[in-house]
Every structure is written in C-alpha cells, then in structure tokens.
Chains A and B, each alone.
Chain A
Amino acid sequence: MRRAHLMMQLEQVGPSGHALAMSLLGNTDDAADVLQDAVATVLNVRSFDASKGTFKAWFLAVVRNRCIDVMRQRRRRPEVDIESVDTAAEADDDPEAVAASDEMAHIVKRELAQLSPEHREILILREFLDLGYAEIGKVLDVPPGTVMSRLHRARSALADRVRSYG
C-alpha cells in the first residue's frame, strides 16, 4: 500500500517534474527518460522523509539531479552540440502558435529558452510551479537567500533580453 500511496503522490507532482526536465533538457525523449528514472528512484525508496521538505520539492530535486547527469553526459560526448543544451528548449516557430498567442508571450518564450539553464530552471520553479523560496531552496540545495538573489538575477536577465525588443 506504501507503493500505492507513493503513486498517488507521484501523480500530483509528475507534470511539474516534466516541466522542470524540459526546461533543462529541452528534449521530450530525454525528459521522458529522466522522469522514468526518477519514478523508479522514488518507488525504490522505503519511505519519504518529511524532514527533507515537501514531497514535491524532493521529487523535483531527484528529477533535477538526473537532468544534471544527462547534461554532463552530453558534454562528455563531443558529437553532441553543447550549445544545444542551452538552446534546445527554443520556442517552436509554428506560425499558428505565433498568431494565437500575443507577441509579448512569444518573445518571452523565445528569450526564456535562451537563458542559462541555471536561470531558466529557477524561473520555471517559481513562475510555473509556484514554489516558495524555501521549497526552491530544497530543490536546488541552496539557502533561501541564494534563491532570492539568483531568482532576481534570472528575472533581470530575462527583462534585459525582452527590453531589447523595445
């Protein structure tokens, strides 16, 4: 029954894990592999230790660690373009999507994909997944003060890029 309970908790946080993996890897296949691994890890753990924070923060930290493994592997394999790690999450230029969303949203989407993985992930954690600073700190394994300054730098970097469109 422990497993059934874990599965239920997983169902709730899974899509967030995918959002984080996509923001870091920018590739559906890699994100799926990472999530597959993360699910296996979670199901192998005896019980979730609540002193580590929320289940969501813990799961996202597992996902993030796997993503970092994948990014390191890509860097080790020279045939893979390192730049693709940073730009792979580039927004689709599907003309219909462009027309449907407003231009600002399109610019923000494209510029978000151009940020460093460090900045992109913290923006995803905050703006997409609605995590508080304490929870983000658990995911990234940094103190809340660092979360605040890093998030501020990430927003500033994105604002600078968007501003250049005037």
Chain B
Amino acid sequence: MDDDCASVDELLSGYLDGELTQKDRQRVDRHIEGCSKCTARLRELESISTSVGKLRADMNQEDREQWRKVMDNALERTASGIGWVLVVGAVFVLVGYAGYEFLLADVEPPLVKWAVGALYLGLAVLLLSVLRQRLKARKTDRYKDVEI
C-alpha cells in the first residue's frame, strides 16, 4: 500500500458513513477513481457494514423482549413499593389510635398499662434501629453518587 492509499484507507469508513468533510470526501472520490485496490477495499468495508447491519433484525426482537421484562420488573417494584407504603402507613395510624384509646381507658390492673407501654416503646426502638441500618447501607451504596 503506497502512502496515498494508506492515508485514503483511514478515511474509507467515514466515507461510507457520510461523515467526512467535503474536502476529504472529494479526495477519496478522486483517489478511488484511479485505484482499484482502494475501490475493492471500500466494497469490502461496505459489505462488512451491511452484514453486521443485517444481524440487527433478529437481535431487535430479542432486545425488545428483554427490555419489556426489565420495565415490567421496574413497574412491579414501584407498585409493590406503593403497596408497602400504604400498608405501613395504615398500621401506624391504627396502632397509634389503639394506643391512644388504650391510654385513656380505665384498665385494671395498672401492670397491663405498663406492659403495653413497654411493648410500644420496644417496637419504636426496633423500628429506629432498622431505619438507622438502612441509612447506613444507603450511604455505602456505591451507586448513590455515580457520575454521569
């Protein structure tokens, strides 16, 4: 390959894709007119490009199906997230209301009141510690501050 052929060769992919400047495109045009070697090379690159493009058809189908699964999964997770928020919210309200009513009610013996109080306190402490661990795990999640 002489120097001219070598420097034209570098431009052939850009030529095929219509990504060259006008000046470079004209240079390739002029060269391949008189060079059968570079013309053959251009045809080869074109046929490779076409062959790869042809594989797209069957892959497309597969990609769409897989993508569907990913999105369904994401939607499902969002839906179950909403479900959990509703359930937990409702439980909080009901338990809070029950506790309030219980406090106001006359219950004998007083030991029962103490026991129920301790039960509520215990639940609150457990909840807080779970929350704390969650927050900690989130801080160390390497995807949190990802640069894009």
Chain B contact residues, majority secondary structure: helix
- In chain B, positions 38-71 with a C-beta closer than 8 Å to chain A are 44-45, 48-49, 51-56, 58-60, 63-64, 66-67, 69-71
A151 to B63: give the CA distance in the assembly, Å. 23
Q: A84 in the interface, Cβ–Cβ < 8 Å? A: no
B37 to chain A, nearest CB (A): 14
B75 to chain A, nearest CB (A): 9
Complex partner residue of A18 from B10, B17, B53, B63, CB under 8 angstroms: B63
A103 to B75: give the CA distance in the assembly, Å. 41
A144 to B14: give the CA distance in the assembly, Å. 10
Report chain B residues within 8 Å CB of A16: 63
Total interface residues on A, CB under 8 Å, equals 46
Q: Chain A: which residue is nearest B19 at the CB level?
A: A133
Once the chains bind, are B17 and A126 in contact (CB under 8 Å)?
Answer: yes
Once the chains bind, are B45 and A36 in contact (CB under 8 Å)?
Answer: no
Once the chains bind, are A65 and B54 in contact (CB under 8 Å)?
Answer: no
A112 to B71: give the CA distance in the assembly, Å. 28
Once the chains bind, are B69 and A32 in contact (CB under 8 Å)?
Answer: yes
B residues with a Cβ closer than 8 A to A are 9-10, 12-14, 17, 19, 44-45, 48-49, 51-56, 58-60, 63-64, 66-67, 69-71, 73-74, 143, 146, 148
Q: List 27 A-B contacts (CB under 8 A).
A: A14-B67, A14-B70, A14-B71, A15-B60, A17-B67, A18-B66, A18-B70, A22-B66, A32-B73, A36-B74, A37-B143, A45-B148, A105-B54, A108-B52, A123-B52, A128-B52, A128-B56, A132-B19, A133-B14, A133-B19, A144-B19, A148-B13, A152-B12, A155-B45, A156-B45, A158-B52, A159-B48
A residues with a Cβ closer than 8 A to B are 10-11, 14-19, 22, 28, 31-32, 35-37, 39-41, 45, 58, 61-62, 65, 101, 104-105, 108-109, 112, 123, 126-128, 132-133, 144, 148-149, 151-152, 155-156, 158-159, 162-163
